[in-house]
Structure 1
Amino acid sequence: MPDRAFIATRKGLFELAAKGGEWAVVDKHFYGEPVSMVLNDARDGATYAALNLGHFGCKLQRRDAGGEWQEVAVPVYPPKPEDSTDKTEWTLRQIWSLETGGPDQPGVLWAGTLPGGLFRSNDRGDSWQLVDSLWNVENRSQWFGGGYDYPGIHSICVDPRNSNAVLVGVSCAGAWLTEDGGATWSLRAKGMRANYMPPDLAEQEDAQDPHRIVRCQDEPDVLWCQHHCGIWHSTDNGRNWAEVKTAPLSSFGFAVAVHPRDGNTAWFVPGVADQQRVPVDAALAVTRTNDGGASFAVLRGGLPQEHCYDLVYRHGLVVADDGKTLLMASTTGGVWLSANGGDYWQTISLNLPPVYAVRFA
C-alpha cells in the first residue's frame, strides 16, 4: 500500500501521507499558484510539478529525492513559418500531461501540451524537444479543442514491453501510436464514434475526443478509454476499440483507471452528460467492472449522496500499484481515498481548491 500522494490544484500542490491507516495533508508547495500536473518518477525519486502562471507563462519545477524544488526548462515551440496556414498558435499554453520513459530510459520524460504538441526530454527536464513527426502529421491543422480553445495531449501510455512504443490521446484528434520512439505515428481510434460530428464523419479516427486513455501495466495490450461519447475498450493495443454499453448511471465522464495487473478491472466516475457535468441524481458514485465491461458495480460507500455536484477531471482518479488503493479528487475540492478497490471511501477533504490531477508517490 502506498503511503504518500500529491494533489495538483488551482491554488497549489498538496502532499498527502498515511499515518496509522489515515491519510491527511502534510505539506503544501507553490501555495496559491495553479499546478496543472504532477509526476513522481519511481526510477530516481524525483517529483515534477507543472505550473500555469497566466501572464508569467508555464513553469516546470523538479525536486530530487531529499532535495529542494528547482526550476527546469519548459517545452518551447519553434517559430511558426511565415507562410504557414495553421490557425493554431505555436505557443505553450499548458503542460497537460507528464509521464516517464521506460525503466531502460533513465532521464527520459514525455510532456503532452496545449496546443497539441508532444515533447520529449532526455535529461530529466533540463531541455525538451518537440516531436516533429507528430506535430507535422497530415491534417494536424484540422485537430480541434475539446473543452479548450486548442487541441491538447492529455494521455501518454508507454508500453512496458518496449519503451519506444508510446500511445497518446488527443482532444480532439483520437489516439496515435509510435513504435519507434516517435519517428513515425499511426492513428489508433478505429471503432470509436463521435456523436458530435455529422453522421458521415462520426467514425473518423482523427475527429475523436478520448477524454482519457489508460494502459494495463501487466497486460499492456489492454487499453481503456473514457470518451466524450461513451466508454471504449481495446484488447489489441488500440488497433480496434469496442464500445462498452453496459455502464450503469451514465457512460459520460472524464476519468478512468485500470488495475495494474488485471486488464479486466477498471474504474470510472460517471456524470450526467456533457451539458450537465454533475453526478447522476447529485449523488457521487464510482463504477467498477471486473469482467472487461460485461458488468459493473456501483460504488457509493463513504461518498456524498445528497447535494453533491463534484466533477472529477481526466487526471482526478488514480489507482496505486497494489491494485486496490485509489485516490479521487474533484473540481469542488473533494478528496477521497479507498483502500479496498473502491468499496468504501475515506473523506480526506471537502474544501481543497479545484483539483486538476492526483498521483501516488
Structure 2
Amino acid sequence: MTDRLLVATRKGLFELHADNQGRWTLGEPQFIGEPVSMVLADPRDGSLYAALNLGHFGVKLHRRRAGMADWEECAVPVYPPQPPEETRVSDGANASADNAAPPRPPVPWTLQQIWSLEPGGPDEPGVLWAGTIPGGLFRSGDGGDTWELNRALWDRPERREWAGGGYDAPGIHSVLVDPRDSRHITVGVSSGGVWQTPDGGATWRQGSEGMEADYMPPERRGDPNVQDPHHVVQCAANPDVLWTQHHCGIFRSTDGATHWQRIQAQPSSFGFAVAVHPREPDTAWFVPAVKDQYRVPVDGKFVVTRTRDGGRTFERFSNGLPAAPAYDLVYRHGLDVDESGTRLAMGSTTGGLWTSADGGESWDLISAHLPPVYCVRFGREARPPSRRRALTLRTLDGR
C-alpha cells in the first residue's frame, strides 16, 4: 500500500506519510505561500517534481531527488518563436464554410502553466511528459533538465480551433502512458478532445468519437475537436478502458478511446474529478456538481459517487464528508486512488482534505483548513523523512 500523499495547493505543497496503521502525518509545507499547480512522485527513481505558477514571475519547476532533503530548480518547457502567421486571428481552421468557428485571438506561444506532469514508462528512465497551457505537450529525456515541444501535435491544423476550458487558453491536463507500450500515449485537452499517438509522438489521431458537446450547435455537437474532457484516466490492468469526466457528462471507452459511450449518473453527470480502480476497469469514482455558472455540489450536498458495473448504476457516499449545506468543489486532479484500489484521497477548493480506506464508502477528515487544493497524488516513500517537523492530525468524528 502506498505510504505517501502529496497535496499541491494555492499556498504550497504538503507531504503526508502513513504509518503501519494507516494514520497520516503531515510535514511542514514546501514552497509556502506559492501556488503549486502540479506535483509528481516518479516511481522509477523516487524523485519528486513540483510545478509552480508564480504569475508575474513565471512558471517554475523544482525537483527533489530521492534521498535528498533540498529542492533544486530545473528547466521549464519553453515554446519556440511564434511565426507571423500564428499571430493573426484564426478563421476557424478545419471548420466547414457553413459552420465555421468564429474568429478568435491567436494563442501566445508562451508557457502559462504546467497542468500535467507524468513519468514515461519503466523502460524510459529520465523521460517525463508535461502538458501545458496553452495546449503544448513537452517531453524531457533527462529528468527535467531540458524539454522539447512535440511539434507533431502542436502543428496539427486542428489545434488552431482548440479553445480554453476554464482558462482563456486551451490546456493539456491529462497525459496517459500505456503500461503495455510506452510509445502509446493518450492526452486530454480542454477544449480540444482526446488525442493519441502510437509511436511516441511522431503521429497523432483524434480519439473523441462518441463524445457530445452540448454547448455547440447541433451539427457540431459530436465534433471531436471541440470536446471538453475535464480529466481522462486509464485502468492500469486494462488500459483499453478509459473514463473521462467531461463538461457535458461522463463518458467511458472500452476500446482504447476509439469510441466513447455517454453515461448518465445521479445526482449529476457534471464534475471535474474522476479516478479509476487500478485493477477493476468497471469501477470508477466521481465528485458531482452543478455545472456552468454554479459549480457547487447539487443541493449543497457534498458526495462522492462510485460505479462498480461500468456506469450502469452508481452509489452515493457522504459518510465523513461535511453535512449540507456544503459547497466544496473538487478540481480535475483533486481525487486520487492508490495502487490497492481501496484507499482514496480528495482535496477541495475550500481547503478540505479527506482520505478513505474502504473504496470511498466512508471518509476521514485530515484537515479542514488547508489552502485551496489543486492536486492530490499517492506515491511510495523513497527516503526516510528528514528536515521536517511532523504533526499528526487526528480525524474529527462525524466530519
Name the TM-score class by shorter chain.
over 0.9
Matched, 1:178 2:197: yes
Where does residue 7 of structure 1 map in the other structure?
7
Where does residue 80 of structure 2 map in the other structure?
78
Distance 2:291 2:84 in 1: 41
Matched, 1:17 2:36: no
Task: Quote how far apart the aligned CAs of 1:28 are.
Answer: 1.0
Where does residue 357 of structure 2 map in the other structure?
339
AA of the residue aligned to 2:377: R
Task: Quote how far apart the aligned CAs of 1:288 are.
Answer: 0.3
Matches within 5 A, 1:1-361: 1-19=1-19, 20-67=21-68, 68-84=70-86, 85=88, 87-245=106-264, 247-361=265-379
Distance 2:228 2:84 in 1: 30
TM-score by length of 1: 0.98
The range that moved more, 185-194 or 61-70, is 61-70
Are 1:336 and 1:346, in contact at CA under 8 Å, matched by a contact in 2?
yes
Distance 1:289 1:139 in 2: 34
Task: Quote how far apart the aligned CAs of 1:260 are.
Answer: 0.4
Task: Quote how far apart the aligned CAs of 1:16 are.
Answer: 1.0
Task: Quote how far apart the aligned CAs of 1:23 are.
Answer: 1.7
Distance 1:339 1:2 in 2: 12
Distance 1:339 1:94 in 2: 33
Task: Quote how far apart the aligned CAs of 1:199 are.
Answer: 0.9
AA of the residue aligned to 2:84: E
AA of the residue aligned to 1:184: T
Are 1:252 and 1:274, in contact at CA under 8 Å, matched by a contact in 2?
no
Distance 2:363 2:184 in 1: 35
Cα offsets for 1:292-331 (capped at 9, x unmatched)? 0011110111011222110000000000001000000011
Distance 1:125 1:118 in 2: 14
Are 1:313 and 1:330, in contact at CA under 8 Å, matched by a contact in 2?
yes
Cα offsets for 1:127-160 (capped at 9, x unmatched)? 0000000000022111100010000000011101
Are 1:193 and 1:208, in contact at CA under 8 Å, matched by a contact in 2?
yes
Q: Is the strand fraction higher in 1 or 2? A: 1
TM-score by length of 2: 0.89
Residue identity (%): 61
SS in 1 for 2:201: coil
Distance 1:284 1:23 in 2: 23
Where does residue 388 of structure 2 map in the other structure?
none
Are 1:192 and 1:243, in contact at CA under 8 Å, matched by a contact in 2?
yes
Are 1:329 and 1:355, in contact at CA under 8 Å, matched by a contact in 2?
yes
Distance 2:337 2:251 in 1: 19
Distance 1:115 1:77 in 2: 10
AA of the residue aligned to 1:45: G
AA of the residue aligned to 2:191: C
SS in 1 for 2:38: strand
Distance 1:2 1:287 in 2: 23
Please report the RMSD computed on the Cα atoms of aligned residues, expressed in angstroms: 0.9
The range that moved more, 294-303 or 82-91, is 82-91
**Structure of greater Rg:** 2
SS in 1 for 2:164: coil
Task: Quote how far apart the aligned CAs of 1:22 are.
Answer: 2.0
Task: Quote how far apart the aligned CAs of 1:275 are.
Answer: 2.2
Note the residue ranges of structure 1 that are not aligned, 5 or more in a row: none
Distance 1:63 1:196 in 2: 43
Task: Quote how far apart the aligned CAs of 1:265 are.
Answer: 0.3
Distance 1:331 1:338 in 2: 18
AA of the residue aligned to 2:82: K
AA of the residue aligned to 1:72: C
The range that moved more, 83-92 or 39-48, is 83-92
Task: Quote how far apart the aligned CAs of 1:4 are.
Answer: 1.2
Distance 1:112 1:174 in 2: 14
Cα offsets for 1:44-84 (capped at 9, x unmatched)? 00000000011110000000112120000000000101233
Distance 1:181 1:263 in 2: 25
Count the aligned residue pairs.
360
SS in 1 for 2:225: helix
Distance 2:146 2:59 in 1: 14
